[in-house]
Structure 1
Amino acid sequence: MNAANAAIRASTHSIARRLTLMFALAAAVVFSITGYALYQFQCVELRRHQLQEIKTRFEFVESLIVRRINTAEKWLLLEDKMTELTPQDGSIVYLVEGKDPAFRLGRPFAADARVSNEGNGVRRIVTENGTYLTLSREIPASGERPAVTLTVGLDASAFDTTSRAINAALVIAFLFGVVVVAGLGWWIARRGLLAVDDLSRHAENLSPLNLAERLPTGDMPSELNGLVLSFNGALGRVEQAYVQLSTFNADVAHELRTPLGNLIGQTQVMLSRERSVEELTEVLQSNLEELERLRTIINDMLFLAQADRGIRAANLEQTSIASEVLKSAEFLDMLIEDAGVSLAVEGDAEAGIDKSLFGRAITNLLYNAIQHCDRNSTIRVHIEERDHAVAINVSNQGVPVAPHHLERLFERFYRVDSSRTDSDNSHGLGLAIVKAIAHMHGGTVFAASNAEVTTIGFTVANGGTL
């Protein structure tokens, strides 16, 4: 049932069907306008021909009466002439009316005939025998002939029949044209959408087992190139995210496995035989350190998960950046002293920051610099204002970082030392947290390294503008 409904929806939303309907609608509009124009044109032309024929016949008879008919004897000759000119089917009628019965011609229209004026002396007269267009005019008296009124009538039935035939032909042509255009539109749409069908077949073959596979870009219509490139770009980002997620899962497993292995191993050893209170206390102390490390890793991962949801720093306070750096450095005095280095803070600026988050980011940067600096060197924290932001640079002298490592420093669990020799002291989330805190303050992170100095830092939006 669901499959049937899906098929119906797919048919209803078919692009080919929509294009066909649009072709048919466009053809209907064009043919309607064209047919209406042709209808109006034929009406005008038929009327012009009718009026032209009435006028020609009227002028001929009028000229004949005016020039030659001025006596009763000649009037009889006119009657014979009109009889010859009047068709047997009655499509043309001649009517002359006057006060003198001797100078009358033809049979008047029925008194109950419907008469309508159409201008310029032309009238439409509807009788039981048909519909006539008539032209009437008074002819002045001449000789024995008094003033008479000449009327020439033309049967409009033939023209009406022709008009109906033309209209029927236009309607048939309209319907036929719409059907033909709709059929051609369907064929054109299906031909034009073959590329889409091809893309659909390729998309069906995409599989998580082959993340490097992409939709083909060759021989694609220009209208689809942008879509294909965008989709391939999305696939690339999905592949990258999938690889990063796989790496992240492996790193998480590695980071959690080491302390858990230590806990299990030490506990098993202690349970293998009876131990003194001092030995048990020592092992519990060691286990507590491993548990603290596990808790730190889990808390850091939870923090990064919240940051990934787009959470912004909320408790913003406008404060001196240098003073906050110095406060954070106080907690690292012993580490700085043990490393045999000194700390220098240069410059200052004010910005709206969450002090707790900012202190965490600075602490992570300073801790990273202490781990990798040369003895008897100086760690420098340089603060400067940039366009709508404040930049905090932490620099240290030490082993330079290769360029291919710099762009990955802020990835989770990433270490320049692939052997993870410093796993006991760092779990590789410090710089990732710096990046998350920078984003929460509307800023960015950056890193640079040369033969002498490595600089890692971040920015926060100036004035707390996120």
Structure 2
Amino acid sequence: MKRSITARLVIMFAAVALATFALAGFALHNVLARELERHQYEELDTTLKSLQFWIKAIGSPERWSRVQARMDALTPEDGSVRFWVLSDDPRFQYGKGLAEIDGLTREANGHTSVVELPGQERPFRTLSVHIDPFEQRPAVRLIVGRNTEPYARTRQAFLSALVAFGLGAVLVVAFAGYWIARVGLRPLERLSKEAQALRPKTLSQRLRAEPLPVELSALAEAFNGALSRLEEAYGQLESFNADVAHELRTPLANLIGSTQVALSRQRSAGEFQEVLQANLEDLERVRSIVNDMLFLARADRGEVATGLVLTPVAQEVRKTIEFFEFVLDETRAQVVIEGDVLAEARLESALFRRAMSNLLQNAIEHSKPGARITVTLREEGAATWITVSNPGAPIDGQHLQHLFDRFYRVDEARNDGGEHHGHGLGLAIVKAVASMHGGQVSASSEGGLNTFGFSVSRTPEKTAG
């Protein structure tokens, strides 16, 4: 199930709002409760002090009736405020249920307590004070009580209003969050529509990053970078397919044409043998192209060289040169090894000789007869470089960086009149072998020498990458 960013944002807005209002409501409710308790205490204390002042001045039973009359006057009809006077002398007592009150209120002077009275739904909050004896009056204890129901109703009403307000505010925040999310995500929707409009034939199109917010701008730029790499890879793929089709078309056309001509009339066994021999050469060419393409495909998938052995590089170079002995004699070319002839590297011999053969073949094909070809070995950091230099026509710098691409040729830049038997994958295979050994490739053209080379790592950590 797909999740909506808008829905998630609305839920988060609502959750944050609910938590915020809940905490604020809890705090306000506690503040109100404390204020109501303080208000009750102040009312009780005011009434208590007023009666205490009167009782202190009363010292005879005759005058005590005035205190009783005053307390009767202060007692409302609903009984929400009550008074009790506790004394050992019954003449100086006041209030209903004195026995129950005497057992419930034992707090110190100035301290309130909450007592449950018979027949009352809500408890009473009481405040008491001890009054010393005076004349005929013994010591008494004055207690003032107030019903907590009005305050409880106030707290309940406040809590109900707070909950209603909080829920309403959460709904408002949720709707506002939905609108904000929709407005905030409009650039992302536009970006999505632009991305959906991309097609293989419109890969050159790029997402507009200028009007986007900073966060989406970085995303758009990263996506444009991926589009650039995809366009380049798609172009290379199209070019590769076209080049493969072109390379295979020629030998296949030769095979079809020669076979059709051979079958057009009666021929002798010798003539058919000549045709088959010519067809075999074209088939060998096709097989070579297919094998090279399969090798490059494996390299593209990240295949690395295995079975690496620490080997003297010069030794492998000499073995490769021996393979070209007949060709060198025919062209009167000479190959010499210079540089760090004692250099060693971790190699897979078969792959190394394949890359070395392609470099030597490339140098021989693009050199005049009798040329001197130089193989230079040098150690540089954790890598060993093998370069092959041959005299030839200068190569323009714009071509050098592409010479290791598949099927890339610069015949017009290297027109030496020689025959070119390659199919444009030789240097690409050199690059693949270098990559499989954790190395790189290089090409230069200066001082009348064209130099191509590759490096291999001397450490297993480099080749594993």
Bucket of the pairwise TM-score, normalised by the shorter protein:
over 0.9
Quick check: 1:350 aligned with 2:344? Answer: yes
Task: Provide Cα deviations, 1:310-332, integer angstroms capped at 9, x if missing partner.
Answer: 11111111111111111111111
Comparing 240-249 and 208-217, the one that deviates more: 208-217
Q: Work out which of the residue numbers 52, 66, 87 in structure 2 matches 1:77.
A: 66
Match of 1:200?
192
TM-score normalised over the length of structure 1:
0.92
| C-alpha distance in 1 between matches for 2:388 and 2:154 | 96
1:279, distance to aligned residue in structure 2 (A): 2.7
Aligned residues between the structures: 455
Give 3-state SS (helix, strand or coil) of 1:224's partner: helix
Match of 2:201 in 1: 209
How many angstroms apart in 2 are the aligned matches of 1:141 and 1:454?
Answer: 126
Instruction: Name the residue aligned to 1:173.
Output: 165
* 1:336 paired to 2:325: no
Q: 1:39-54 to 2 correspondence within 5 Å? A: 39-54=29-44
Report the identity percentage.
45
CA distance in 2: counterparts of 1:377 and 1:190, whole angstroms = 73
- Once residues 193 and 433 of structure 2 are traced to their aligned partners in structure 1, the CA distance between those partners, rounded to angstroms, is 44
Which residue identity is paired with 1:81? Answer: R
2: CA distance, partners of 1:350 / 1:320: 4
Q: CA deviation at 1:438?
A: 1.0
Write out per-residue CA displacement over residues 254-283 of structure 1, whole angstroms, 9 at most, x where no aligned residue: 111111111222222222223333333222
Instruction: Report deviation, 1:115.
Output: 5.3
Q: What does 1:31-430 align with in structure 2 at a 5 Å threshold?
A: 31-66=21-56, 68-108=57-97, 111=100, 121-127=111-117, 128-129=119-120, 130-346=122-338, 347-348=340-341, 349-417=343-411, 425-430=421-426
Deviation (angstroms), 1:104: 1.0
Aligned mates of 1:117, 1:365 — CA distance in 2: 110
Cα 1:380–1:49 change in 2 (3 A) is: same
DSSP 3-state at the match of 1:275: coil
After TM superposition, the structure 1 stretch with the greater mean CA deviation from structure 2, 144-153 or 367-376, is 367-376
- Over 3 Å counting, the alpha-carbon distance change for 1:293 and 1:437 in structure 2 is same
More displaced 10-residue stretch of structure 1: 141-150 or 77-86: 77-86
**Contact 1:353-1:464 within 8 A present in 2 as well:** no
* Offset at residue 246 of structure 1 (A): 1.2
Q: Tell me the residue number matched to 2:454.
A: 458
TM score, norm. by length of structure 2: 0.92
Contact 1:117 1:124 in 2 (8 A): no
Query: Aligned-residue CA RMSD in angstroms?
Result: 2.3
Closer/same/farther in 2, CA of residues 113 and 102 from structure 1, 3 Å limit: closer
CA contact (8 A) 1:115 1:124 kept: no
Q: Greater shift after overlay, 180-189 or 397-406?
A: 397-406
CA distance in 2, matches of 1:293, 1:196: 53
Whether the 8 Å contact between 2:365 and 2:419 is mirrored in structure 1 is no
**Aligned 8 A contact 2:107 2:128 in 1:** no
Whether the 8 Å contact between 1:344 and 1:380 is mirrored in structure 2 is yes
Please identify, of 338-347 and 187-196, the stretch whose mean Cα deviation from structure 2 is larger. Answer: 338-347
Whole-angstrom CA distance in 2 between matches of 1:284 and 1:422: 27
1:301 and 1:193 mapped to 2: Cα distance?
47
Unaligned runs of 5+ in 1: 1-8
Q: 1:118 to 1:23 in 2, by over 3 A?
A: farther
**Segment of structure 1 superposing worse, 144-153 or 333-342:** 333-342
Cα displacement (A) at 1:461: 1.6
Q: State how far apart, in whole Å, the 2-side matches of 1:285 and 1:149 are.
A: 134
Indicate the SS of the match to 2:76.
coil
- CA deviation digits over 1:394-453, x for unaligned, max 9? 222211221121111111111112799988601111111111111111112121222422
Give the conservation status (yes or no) of the 8 Å contact 2:407–2:423.
yes
- Is contact 2:365-2:418 (8 Å) kept? no
Q: Structure 2 CA distance, aligned partners of 1:218 and 1:29?
A: 38
Per the alignment, residue 432 of structure 1 pairs with 428
In the alignment, structure 2 segments of 5+ residues that lack a partner are none
Secondary structure class of the residue paired with 1:214? coil
